[in-house]
Every structure is written in C-alpha cells, then in structure tokens.
C-alpha cells in the first residue's frame, strides 16, 4: 500500500530501500550501523548536494538501477519452475514480466 501511495507523489517507496540494503549486504555491511550510515549519507547528499545531484544524467541512474536489479534478482528461481505447480510458476513469470515491462 505504501508503494502505491508513494507513486502518486513521485516517491520511491520501499523499492529503493531494498536496493540500498542489498548493496550494503553485498559490500560487507551486516549490522545496523551500515544501514544507518547509508541513510545519513543519503539525507546529507540530498540536503547539501542537490545541485550536484541535478547534473547527474538520468541514463546513468537508470544504468545503476539495472545493475542493482541484475544483482538482486533470484536467478535460481528459473530452475525451480518445472518442479513447482503451474499456477505458482505462472505467478512468478507474470510478476517478473510485469515488473520488467513497467
């Protein structure tokens, strides 16, 4: 529900936090300090470096997000598709396709 409401205001919702958490974990951040420091750095960047953020090309940010998606996608799920019920496999494929298309 929060992601739907965020969409009306142009916010990112929980998706950005999942990406941030995955980047923290893949770079060795296992405790609360890693998440807190990332959040503090992000708010400082937004508050004090807005003019710098404005000149970053949107295509570069999209490319970065694609790298995060490739790194966080559960690729072994495809190996499970023949072993699970067809309805579950359909849901996995449908959600993946809708997410990629939208």
Residue 95 lies in a domain: no
Please answer whether residues 24 and 10 qualify as being in contact, where contact means their C-beta atoms are separated by less than 8 angstroms: no
pLDDT per residue as tens digits for the range 48-84: 988 888 898 989 988 887 887 787 778 888 888 899 9
Residue 96 lies in a domain: no
pLDDT per residue as tens digits for the range 1-24: 766 777 777 766 666 677 777 778
Residue 90 lies in a domain: no
Residue 16 has a pLDDT of: 65
Number of separate domains in the chain: 1
Residue 24 has a pLDDT of: 80
Residue 20 lies in a domain: yes
Residue 44 lies in a domain: yes
The whole-model pTM stands at: 0.52
């Amino acid at each position: 529900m929060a992601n739907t409401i965020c969409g009306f205001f142009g916010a990112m919702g929980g998706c950005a936090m999942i990406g941030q958490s995955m980047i923290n974990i893949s770079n060795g951040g296992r405790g609360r300090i890693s998440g807190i420091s990332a959040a503090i750095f992000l708010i400082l960047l937004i508050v004090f470096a807005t003019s710098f953020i404005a000149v970053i090309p949107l295509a570069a940010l999209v490319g970065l997000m694609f790298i995060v998606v490739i790194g966080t996608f559960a690729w072994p799920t495809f190996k499970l598709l023949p072993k699970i019920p067809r309805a579950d496999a359909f849901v996995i494929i449908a959600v993946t396709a809708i997410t990629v298309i939208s």
